Amino acid sequence: MTQRRTSTTMSLSPINALDTSRILTEALPYIQRFTGKTIVVKFGGNAMEGAELKKSFARDIVLMKLVGMNPVVVHGGGPQIGELLKALNIESEFIDGMRVTDSKTMDVVEMVLGASVNKEIVSMINHAGGKAIGITGKDGQLIMAKKIKVSRKTPGVDVPEIIDMGHVGEVEHVNVDVINMLVNSNFIPVIAPIGVDREGNSYNINADLVAGKIAEYLRAEKLMLLTNVAGLQDKGGNVLTGLSTAEVDRLIADGTIYGGMLPKIACALDAVKAGVQSAHIIDGRVDHAVLLEIFTDEGVGTLITNQVSED
């Protein structure tokens, strides 16, 4: 039998013991509320780059599963793809934040997302005591995709230019039976955002969009998007939270939300409007960000809910 404490182990001080008990009791109602609920977590950005952040993320996911929640992980891997492309002397081109993906680039995307990154995350979760299984959207036709269409207005030309993004896609359908089979067998799905069409062509899909669509199809309780900022901020740099969908729409309209944050917010907004109970934009640079957002009153990011605005 493993001893709880040895003779050389220091006990908690009264102050630390009080803090610990407060945190545990604060977490209790959230555990009770979310037991049996599905929570889709998109893991990427800075949180994937630091060894300690990776470990804390894996432990968060395992703890969620152990207390009765059903975490589903969707991951990105843009920096890792970029590094391998550079090593292979394959140039990267981006249009509207999306990587133009020809056949050679798609091979690299599948190699990085479907193999190295996916298996690393699976290994981390398993090492932390969980039971994770890695899949791509091609497995069991989990993510049926179609080629994305991008148009760009060229000055002096009346008709918008249609840009061929190659193997860049968007989600057409999610086969939830694949995910439910894993969840019901007590596994934690770890999903690489690669889709397939009816002709068998592979597509590189933005991980935020995949996470949002999976949350919609699963009717998830929460969608959590890890990012490298503190959350959605107002024009004064203050983090905003507890927002309704109507309030987010107003923030987009008045220019508070703009640039690179727009696609992520749009993804969260679409998921909530489609029936996901809440979406969270959280700071992946914070240790145990996922647990802090779920189990504490304050959280570590922006919460968007499907509540109806009173005005």
Give the range with max mean pLDDT: 47-56, 102-111, 254-263. Answer: 102-111
Residue bearing tokens 């610990």: 20
What CATH code is carried by the domain that includes residue 69? Answer: 3.40.1160.10
The pLDDT confidence band at residue 208, using thresholds 50, 70 and 90, is: very high
The pLDDT assigned to 309 comes to 47
- Reported as a single tens digit per residue, the pLDDT across 108-140 is 999 999 999 999 999 999 999 999 999 999 999
How much is the average pLDDT of 265-270? 91
Return the SS3 of 12: coil
Residue 12 lies in a domain: no
pLDDT of 80 over the 70 cut: yes
The pLDDT assigned to 7 comes to 47
The pLDDT assigned to 10 comes to 53
Residue 95 lies in a domain: yes
Residue 228 lies in a domain: yes
Residue 21 lies in a domain: no
Instruction: Please answer whether residues 193 and 113 qualify as being in contact, where contact means their C-beta atoms are separated by less than 8 angstroms.
Output: yes
pLDDT of 1 over the 50 cut: no
- Parent domain of 246: 36-305
Instruction: Please answer whether residues 86 and 265 qualify as being in contact, where contact means their C-beta atoms are separated by less than 8 angstroms.
Output: no
How much is the average pLDDT of 99-103? 89
Instruction: Tell me which of 131-135, 147-151, 276-280, 286-290 is least confident.
Output: 147-151
pLDDT of 201 over the 70 cut: yes
Instruction: Please answer whether residues 57 and 43 qualify as being in contact, where contact means their C-beta atoms are separated by less than 8 angstroms.
Output: yes
Bigger pLDDT: 139 vs 26: 139
How much is the average pLDDT of 38-66? 89
User: Among candidates 96, 130, 134, which has minimal Cα distance to 113?
Assistant: 134
Instruction: Tell me which of 50-54, 75-79, 142-146, 255-259 is least confident.
Output: 255-259
Residue 26 lies in a domain: no
pLDDT of 311 over the 60 cut: no
The pLDDT assigned to 238 comes to 83
CA distances from 196 to 24, 94, 170, 202, 268 (A): 44, 22, 10, 5, 23
* Overall number of domains in the chain: 1
The pTM (predicted TM-score) of the whole model is 0.88
Residue 230 lies in a domain: yes
Residue 122 lies in a domain: yes
Angle between helices 51-66 and 118-127 (to 10 degrees): 60
